[in-house]
């Protein structure tokens, strides 16, 4: 239990007749970056908001850093840094005023030298009134608010939403640095490249249920690959197509093939030894394709 940062068992939440969470089971280890994936409306934000006691679950068990958020919400929030997907701050503040106000709520725990460093890295002017900021610049305030007190656990809901690519990269670095300093990161996103490049493990939530938890690399490797093969002369590829997990995508004039391979490549490579191969190219799918494949399979009726 000491090594578990977040534990959810059968977590349920409904709004009237709408069931937002239908029994979420989740275990996030301390020190890892955990990606929480799912389409809009799957229950990502609802799960995070339960962790902060902003909404109250209807059933199940939830522990954050060993604490029950409903029983000890202030203690949980003291140790957590949260970045909402859409940040809303009183427009009458300046950036510095907003940071000072929220730092007051944390009993001044944040170090101003560190805050200025963070602001500089993401190019945020502390003197600007919040009402004059663009959506992306407001999101930068959220990044600093989440990180400034060096929390044990970061709950990031779409952390780079609205940020330009350079700043996104910097935020990813900050997240990795926080983990290197010992923090656990729970990152909800539907930007799959972000999840793929930063997370250790991924959980996929669909319609309020976690349907898959796996190492990010495993999830990517497990899935379909596209293989393009060019031969010196026209060949009969029927023996290749007979291999388990191999399907034909396209066939040229007999000297080239495009295949889809599910699972390990070993059998295909061994079979190709009998062919005059000129070129062999595999295309590793992005997590996005994995994700879509996963959902497509689910929509087609298979239980994932």
Partner 1 sequence: MRTIFWYSLGRMRSQILGWGLCLGLLGGYLVSFYDTLVQQEAQLLEMVKAYPPEVMAFFGDMNKLFTPGGYLNTEFFSYMPIVLGIYAVLAGSGLLASDEENGTLDLLLAHPVSRAEIYFGRLGAFLVALVGIHALAWLGFWLFVPGTTMDIMPGELALPFLSLLAEMILFGALALLFSMLLPSRSMAAMVSGLLLVTSYFISSLAKIDENLRQVAKVSPLNYYQGGEALEGMKWSWFLGLLVVALGFVLLAWQFFERRDIRVVGEGSFRLPIFSRKKGYSHAGTRD
Residues that bind partner 1 (CB under 8 A): 15-18, 20, 38, 40-46, 49, 52-56, 73-75, 77-78, 80, 82, 84-90, 92, 101-102, 104-107, 142, 145, 157, 188
Tell me the closest approach of the beta carbon of residue 254 to partner 1, in angstroms. 50
Phi-psi region of 150 (alpha: psi -120 to 50; beta: other; left: phi over 0): left
Contacts by 60-63, CB closer than 8 A, 24 or more apart: 60/8, 60/9, 60/10, 60/11, 60/12, 60/21, 60/23, 60/24, 61/7, 61/8, 61/9, 61/10, 61/11, 62/7, 62/8, 62/9, 62/11, 63/1, 63/4, 63/6, 63/7, 63/8
Query: Least distance (Å) from partner 1 to the CB of residue 251?
Result: 43
Query: To the nearest whole angstrom, how small is the minimum distance from the Cβ of residue 84 to partner 1?
Result: 6
Nearer to partner 1, 189 or 223 (CB): 189
CB closer to partner 1 out of 63 and 225: 63
Q: Which residues contact 10 (CB under 8 A, 6 or more apart)?
A: 23, 24, 25, 59, 60, 61
When the beta carbons of 13 and 63 are compared against partner 1, the nearer one is 13
Q: Is the Cβ of residue 99 or residue 257 nearer to partner 1 in the bound state?
A: 99
Minimum Å distance from CB 158 to partner 1? 9
Q: Of the two residues 41 and 59, which places its CB atom closer to partner 1 in the complex?
A: 41
C-alpha pair distances (Å), 21 with each of 36, 44, 282 = 14, 9, 38
Least Å from the CB of residue 136 to partner 1? 17
Nearer to partner 1 by Cβ, of 3 and 134: the residue is 134
Compare residues 15 and 270 and give the one whose CB is closer to partner 1.
Answer: 15
Compute the least distance from the CB of residue 63 to partner 1, in Å: 18
Residue 86 beta carbon to partner 1: minimum distance, rounded to whole angstroms: 6
Please, what is the minimum distance in Å from the beta carbon of residue 206 to partner 1? 12
> Nearer Cβ to partner 1, position 153 or 246?
153
- Provide the token pair at 119: 């602001």
């Amino acid at each position: 239990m000491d090594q578990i940062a977040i534990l959810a068992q059968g977590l349920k939440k409904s709004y009237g007749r709408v069931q937002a969470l239908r029994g979420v089971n989740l275990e996030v280890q301390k020190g890892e970056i955990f990606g929480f994936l799912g389409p809009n409306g799957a229950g990502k934000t609802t799960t995070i908001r339960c962790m902060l006691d902003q909404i109250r679950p209807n059933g199940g068990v939830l522990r954050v850093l060993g604490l029950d958020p409903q029983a000890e919400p202030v203690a949980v929030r003291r140790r957590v840094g949260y970045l909402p997907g859409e940040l809303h701050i009183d427009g009458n503040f300046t950036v510095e005023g907003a940071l000072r106000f929220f730092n007051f709520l944390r009993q001044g725990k944040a170090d101003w030298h560190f805050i200025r460093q963070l602001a500089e890295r993401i190019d945020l002017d502390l003197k600007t009134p919040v009402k004059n900021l663009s959506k992306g610049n407001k999101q930068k305030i959220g990044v600093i608010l989440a990180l400034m007190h060096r929390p044990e656990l970061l709950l990031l809901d779409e952390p780079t939403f609205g940020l330009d690519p350079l700043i996104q990269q910097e935020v990813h670095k900050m997240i990795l640095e926080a983990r290197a300093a010992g923090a656990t990161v729970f990152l909800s996103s539907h930007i799959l490249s972000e999840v793929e490049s930063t997370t250790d493990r991924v959980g996929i939530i669909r319609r309020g249920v976690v349907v898959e938890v796996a190492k990010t690399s495993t999830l990517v490797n497990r899935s379909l690959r596209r293989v393009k093969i060019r031969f010196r002369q026209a060949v009969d590829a029927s023996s290749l197509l007979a291999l388990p997990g191999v399907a034909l995508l396209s066939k040229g004039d007999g000297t080239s093939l495009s295949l889809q391979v599910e699972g390990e490549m070993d059998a295909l490579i061994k079979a190709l030894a009998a062919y005059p191969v000129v070129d062999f190219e595999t295309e590793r799918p992005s997590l996005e394709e994995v994700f879509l494949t996963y959902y497509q399979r689910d929509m087609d009726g298979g239980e994932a």
